[in-house]
Structure 1
Amino acid sequence: MIQLHDVDLKLLRVFNTIVKCGGFSAAQATLNVAQSTISEQMTHLETRLGVKLCERGRSGFRLTEQGQAIHQAAQRLLGAVEEFCVDADVLKRQISGTLNLGMIDTTITDPACPLRQTTQRFVQRGHQVHLHVYIGTPAELEERVLDGRLHLAVGHFPLRVPGLSYSPLYQESHGFYCGRNHPLFGASEPKVDLLERIAANRVVARGYLQQRDLQALGVEVAAATVDNVEAQAMLILSGAYAGFLPDHYARQWVDSGELEHLGAGRLQLLSAFETITRRGAASPLILRAFLDELMHCSRAMAVQN
C-alpha cells in the first residue's frame, strides 16, 4: 500500500492542474514553473505510484487509462483534504454577529447554485450568527455592497462597478420561451425563419440584460422591460410576449405545457454568476467563513457535475 506524504499531495495537485489545463505547456502559467520542472514532478509522481499517467509528445497530451482513474481518485482525495482543512479552520474560530447576504431572484430552483448547501453547512457549524437575506436587482445589490449594507451578494453582474471585487461562482443557462397562447407556440421553422418571426412579435427583456438578449435575437427594441425574472415569466406566460428565462425556473411551466422552449439548443445563453464584495474593506470573520464555505460547495458541486 502506498503511504502518502505531503510531497505526494503537492504532486497530485500539480497533476490535477495539468489535466485541467490540458497539458504541460498550458499548465506553466498556472503553476508558475518551467515545463522541465513540471515534467520532473510528473516523472516523480509516476515513480511513486508505479503507473504511467499520461502520454505527451507530438500527438499532444493524453491520459492513460490508469491516469484517468488516478485523476478521479485524486479529485476525491484533494476534495476531502480541503474539506478537512475548512472544517478544522472553522471549528477553532468563534463566529457570531450578523451576516448580510444579497442575491438576485429565482435562484432557488437552480441545482447549480451552491447557496442552499452553503447555508446548511454554515448554520450546522453552530455559529451564533443572524443571517439577513436581501433579494434585489444586480444594480441594487452592487449599490448595497458598495455602501456596506450588504457584506456580499451573489448574482449576474454585466457591468463592473469601481470599488467592488468580482469572483466567478457558476453559470446559469437561459432559453427563449413563449406561452401557450403565443403565436409562436408550436413553431418548427428553421432558425432564420424563427428569428424573423420572433422579430415580428413582442419581446420582453430584463433591463440589465436587455442589450445581450436583443442582440442574440436580432431585435432592436424590446416591447416590454422588467427588473426581475418573476415579472419576465408573468409576461411570457400571458402569451403576449416571448423572452429569455433561466431554464431551471421555466422547467415547471414547460412540464405543465404552459411554456415552450423555442429554438432549443440554438437560442441558448449562459449567464456567469459571481460573488461581489467591497474592495479594500476589512473582511469580518463572519464574511470570510461564509465565503470559504461558499467556494468549497461551489467547487464540490462542479466536480460532481
Structure 2
Amino acid sequence: MSKTEFDERNLRSLRIFCAVAQAHGFAAAEKELNLSKASISRHIREVEEKLNTRLCERGPRGFELTRAGRVALEVASSALRALDRIKPEIDAVGGLLSGTLAIGITEHIVTAKACRVPEAIAELRRRAPAVRPEVQVMSFAQLNQALRERRVEIVIRGSYRKERTFDYLPLFVETHRVYVRADAARCKAGTPLPLIYREHPFVDDLLEKPGFTKGPIAAGLEAIALLLTSGDYAGLLPEHYADKVGEHYPLSVVKGSPAYRNGLCAITEASRPISRNAELFLEILADLHSG
C-alpha cells in the first residue's frame, strides 16, 4: 500500500474530520461523535499527516478550515458518501431499496395546508421500509451549501431565486405578507413600524418601497415572530405561519402590504445522478402535490 492510500483507520479519521468541519468545531462535534476533544484532535492529526498539510486552525480564536481543509472537506465528503451508497445501490439492482436519504428542508413548512411532505415520508417508509430518512432544517444559504457539498440529496425550500445548477420539482405555493401585532400602540396611532430584517429577496424588495424602514436583524421565522409580537416592529411572514402565531398573539396585515407568492420546490443538484431512494421520494412528492 502506498503512503497516499487510505486504510480503514484513515477512513474513520477522515469521517471524523468531515464531521468536525461540518459542525464548525470540536465542541459541537463531541456530542455527535461521542468522542473526547483529545481523541478528535488525534484523528485530525492523522489525516493531516497522511495528506502532509494542515487542514484546520484550532485554538483560542476558534475552529477554522485552511484552504487545503476546505478542498479536503469537499472531496472527502463526496467520496465518503459515494462509499456509503455502494450497498444501497447494489440492493436497488435487486429491487430492494435501503440506506439513508438525507433531506434538507426550510423551517415551518409543515403548517402550510398544501404541504404533503409528511405524507410523502410515510409513503416512502411504506414502499421502502429499509430506507432511513434523515431530515435537517436549515436556512436558505445553508440548504444550498449542503446540497453542493452533498451532505443532503434533496432540498425542500422556496424557489424565488433559481439557479441553473439545480433541478426544481414544484410542490406548492405559500404567500408572504407583512404583519404587525394588532394591538400595537404605535400602529394604532398610524405610525409605521420598522420592518424586521433578514436576508431575503422579499424583504429587500419591501425596503425599496415607500413606507418601510429597516428594523432589527433576525435569523429565521421564529426570531421574526418573537420581535413582531413584542408590538414594536413589522415583519414578513408566510400566511400559514402567521395564522399559527395569531392563535396566541393577535396579528393584522399592514395596510398596503404586497402579497409575495413563493413556490416551494424539491431541489436536486442538476449535474449529480441521484440515488434510487431519491428518485422514489421525488415520485411520491410529485404524486401527492399534483392535486
Category of TM-score, reference length = shorter chain = 0.5 to 0.7
Percent of aligned positions that are identical: 22
Residue in structure 2 matching 1:107, options 101, 106, 109: 109
Q: How does 1:162-241 map to 2 (within 5 A)?
A: 162-180=164-182, 182-183=184-185, 185=187, 197-198=191-192, 201-209=193-201, 210-215=203-208, 217-218=209-210, 221-241=213-233
**Aligned equivalent of 1:143, options 128, 142, 145:** 145
Contact 2:194-2:213 within 8 A present in 1 as well? no
Which runs of structure 2 are paired with 1:8-157 in the superposition (5 Å)? Answer: 93-157=95-159
TM-score, normalised to structure 1, is: 0.59
Cα distance between partner residues in 1 of 2:213 and 2:164:
29
- The answer to whether the 8 Å contact 1:213/1:244 transfers is no
Partner SS, residue 134 of structure 1: strand
Which one-letter code corresponds to 2:268 in the other structure? T
Offset at 1:219? 5.0
> Structure 1 counterpart of 2:136, which letter?
Y
Cα 1:293/1:224, change in 2 over 3 Å: same
C-alpha distance in 2, partners of 1:173/1:284?
32
Aligned counterparts of 1:99 and 1:113: Cα–Cα separation in 2: 19
Cα gap change, 1:141 to 1:226, in 2 (>3 Å): same
Residue 138 of structure 1 contacts residue 157 of structure 1 at CA under 8 Å; is this kept in 2?
no
Gaps of 5+ in 2: 1-91
Q: What is the TM-score with the length of structure 2 in the denominator?
A: 0.61
Amino acid at match of 1:213: L
1:284 to partner: Cα distance:
0.6
**Which of 244, 262, 275 is the aligned partner of 1:252?**
244
DSSP-derived class of the 2:200 partner: helix
Structure with bigger helix share is: 1
Question: Retained in 2: the 8 A contact 1:169–1:295?
Answer: yes
SS at match of 1:223: strand
Alpha-carbon contact 1:158-1:208 (below 8 Å) kept? no
Q: How many residues matched? A: 198
Letter of the 1:279 counterpart: A
Structure 1: segments with no counterpart, 5+ residues = 1-89, 188-193
Partner deviation per Cα, 1:181-230 (whole Å, 9 max, x = no partner): 5235557xxxxxx7xx43xx211132123213334x53565212223111
Sort the Cα spacing of 1:130 and 1:177 in 2 relative to 1 into closer, same or farther, 3 A. Answer: same
**CA–CA distance in 1 between the matches of 2:155 and 2:270?**
13
- CA shift in 2, pair 1:129/1:213, >3 Å: farther
Separation in 1, partners of 2:178, 2:271: 39
Q: Could you say which residue in structure 1 is the equivalent of 2:161? A: 159
Q: Give the corresponding residue for 1:271.
A: 262
